[in-house]
Structure 1
Amino acid sequence: MKKCIVISLVCLSFLGCVEEFNLDLNKVKQRVVIEGLIENTSGPHYIRVTKSATGAFIKNNYLDIDENVEIIDDAIVVVSDDSGQIEQLVSIPQNSQNEDIFDKGGYYKTTNFKGELNRKYTLKVTTKDGEIYTASDYMKPPPTINSLAYELRILEKDGQEYYVPLLSFFEPQETTDYYLIAQNFVRSNPNRISSWNFEVLSDKNLNTGDIQIFLDNGASPENFGYYYYFTGDEINIKTSSISEETYEYFKFLLEQFKQDGGVYKPTPASPPTNINNGGLGFFQASSFIKSKVKIK
């Protein structure tokens, strides 16, 4: 009898927690999403302006947003630095034949703006409705890369041989430095997937001098996990020096990629942003250096 009462109470507790709730997505306020990157090159540099929708992820240092987002192609987008350099960006027509990688629309590009080290960069976006969004970021010098090598590993489960990248660089420790390391797979076997993944690193726990780190994991919007290289593959590494704000932004994204939706996992949230006026996204200014090595 007691078992029946307990079972009945449990069932009632579940029934009592059920409440019909209609979520009207049409009433959810859209927010402007701005993603941009200025690097230590002569450009062009790109900024994307859209309105928030179902989701957005950083891919290859640029924002790859769902197809259903609403693009903003009539904004006034201006970038400047603390040396007096200033330029209004040009809107790229959607599905432009000359800019096919940006065929989703909402992209703006520079024509003469040069990214230089040790400069503070400011972005200003003015929408057709008169809303103004600004953001700033500082471009630190790139890290000093000593070498890029690889080391043989063996999988315990089947004894298969593979390689992991070994990056060596100099860490001055004069200031707190932050790095974003992205790697691209150029496969000798075309059946293997080739894609960019990235990870972030702080020097807070590093020693001064020459540092060696294994790049054996990372994340991308497609997946999270370990990345194996094989004989004949080419390893391409892009090491960027980033600000603390950029580090926190990408660190948050990496944590979000790891979430599997489990009951004890934190609720997904919007990443930190340096866009003011309630905007989403991030404006990044960073310098980089590239390295590559082919596994023989």
Structure 2
Amino acid sequence: MLRKFLYLLIILPLASCIEPYSVTVEEGAQLLTVDGMITSGPGPHLIKLTRSDTYGSVFEGLIRPVGNATVIIRDDLGQVTFLSENVEDRGIYATPADFSATVGRTYTLQIQTIDGKVYTSLPERVESVPEIKDIDLKVIKIAVEGETLERSGVQLIAEFDDPSDQNNFYFWKTGESTFVLKTRPDLYTPRPSDTNTSRDPQPKDCCITCYKTEQLGNEGIYLAQDDNFNGLSTSAAAGFIEDDGNRFVDTYRTDLKQFSVSQEAYRFLRLVKQQTEISGSVFDPPPANIRGNMISLDDPEEVVLGYFIAAGEISKRVYIDGNQLDYRQPEVIIPDDCREVEGAQLEPPLDWNP
């Protein structure tokens, strides 16, 4: 008992000598991020300006739009195009609808924020881009850990003739898409409310078939350079449309856009692609310091994120018949009038021509 008492006397003085260590963390910088592209395709073309706070800020993790800035695009002939800000979506600046970049011209983005700071991009030259000869389709299945049902979707494969007289760097995106949406209004059951407590189905007379238009986000970044196929006919994976149980019930339409970007833009996009595909494995590449082509004219040491891209653009439309796919997700039943689905309408687009 005496031995335990002595141990206690020794421990208590030691504990009383510990003082809390105060850590002061420097507040993170607010970083301007520029995300935008102009192309030789039809406008308007959009530039998005945001400012993000890093650790130490009460707005940690918040991305805020940068509004009321003056944004212009200047070409190598001195022609200036002013962009206007979207009044409903702050921080989004658009060129006039009739503006398109010209192949062979060089463009610079210039920004002046409301506090007077001035930023500029390095010059970006618009390169020519070959036509897409055809678009092949391939169903891709993706295993999901812990799930019995695989994810799936349609991969778009672009076929084109790479020109031999230049070194090309390619980038692909899908444009606005429309598909036939089918629902089950005969299964409609209203939600219980103060005036209606019934859980019985109350079928609607209309409507079963609509056309839904959507703007898909990129399912990955699709890039290629012609080091291995310069001057040859080739094909490359150019996009992926996930099957959500509705898109491929009938017919799906999308526009595949093929861009010819500068070598510097390709490098930036490739680094972004590497970072987005990091899986957490010990074999992953170390995080890269991805610097874009934007600089501050007031403080060259200021870090500005993002990249201003000027590119040649060509697009090709493809209709996908869901009945011809060798695998589809189980249909997701929507028990309501199809017109109640956001982005859906009864009439197809005027240029709908499967």
User: TM-score, normalising length from structure 2?
Assistant: 0.59
Contact kept, 8 Å, 2:53 with 2:61, in 1: the verdict is: no
Distance in 2 of aligned mates of 1:160 and 1:114: 38
- Per-residue deviation, 1:244: 0.8
Q: Which residue of structure 1 aligns with residue 316 of structure 2? A: 291
Taking the aligned partners of 1:267 and 1:122, their CA distance within structure 2 comes to 31
Counterpart among 115, 123, 128 of residue 129 in structure 1:
115
Aligned partner of 1:89 in structure 2 is 83
Q: How does 1:63-82 map to 2 (within 5 A)?
A: 68-82=62-76
Instruction: Give the SS at the match of 1:247.
Output: helix
Report what 2:274 is aligned to: 255
Structure 1 range deviating more: 145-154 or 156-165: 156-165
Which residue of 1 is the match for residue 104 of structure 2?
118
AA aligned to 2:102 is E
Report the alpha carbon displacement of residue 23 of structure 1 after superposing the two structures with TM: 7.0
Decide which structure has the larger Cα Rg and report it.
2
Q: Tell me, yes or no, if structure 1 residue 45 matches structure 2 residue 39.
A: no
> Alpha-carbon deviation of 1:33?
1.6
Alpha carbons of structure 1 residues 80 and 183: separation in structure 2 relative to 1, 3 Å = same
Cα deviation code 1:214-248 (max 9, x no counterpart): 44769xxxx9xxxx988744453111111111111
Partners of 2:282 and 2:54 lie apart in 1 by 22
Deviation at 1:68, TM superposition (A): 2.4
The structure 1 residue matched to 2:91, chosen from 82, 106, 128, is: 106
The 8 Å contact of residues 43 and 95 in structure 2, kept in 1 or not, is answered as yes
2:223 is aligned to 200
Residue 170 of structure 1 is aligned with which of 152, 161, 172?
161
Identify which of 229, 232, 237 aligns with 1:209.
232
Change (3 A) 1:75 1:195: closer
Partner of 2:8: none
Higher strand share: 1
Residues matched between the structures, number: 249
Question: Which residue of 1 is the match for residue 34 of structure 2?
Answer: 34
Question: How do 1:174-189 and structure 2 match up within 5 A?
Answer: 174-183=165-174
Structure 1 partner of 2:130: 143
Q: 2:44 is aligned with what amino acid?
A: P
Q: Judging changes above 3 Å, is the alpha-carbon distance between structure 1 residues 142 and 54 closer, same or farther for their aligned structure 2 residues?
A: farther
| Distance (whole Å) between structure 2 residues aligned to residue 120 and residue 242 of structure 1 | 12
Residue 5 of structure 1 corresponds to none
Aligned counterpart in structure 2 of residue 241 of structure 1, from 260, 282, 303: 260
Deviation at 1:263, TM superposition (A): 4.7
1:259 is displaced (CA, Å) by 1.0
Note the residue ranges of structure 2 that are not aligned, 5 or more in a row.
1-20, 184-213, 297-301, 322-354
Measured at CA, do residues 207 and 50 of structure 1 come closer, stay the same or move farther in structure 2, by a change above 3 Å?
closer
Offset of 1:110 from its aligned partner? 2.3
Q: Given the alignment of the two structures, is residue 272 of structure 1 paired with residue 291 of structure 2, yes or no?
A: yes
Distance 1:168 1:118 in 2: 24
TM-score (norm 1): 0.69
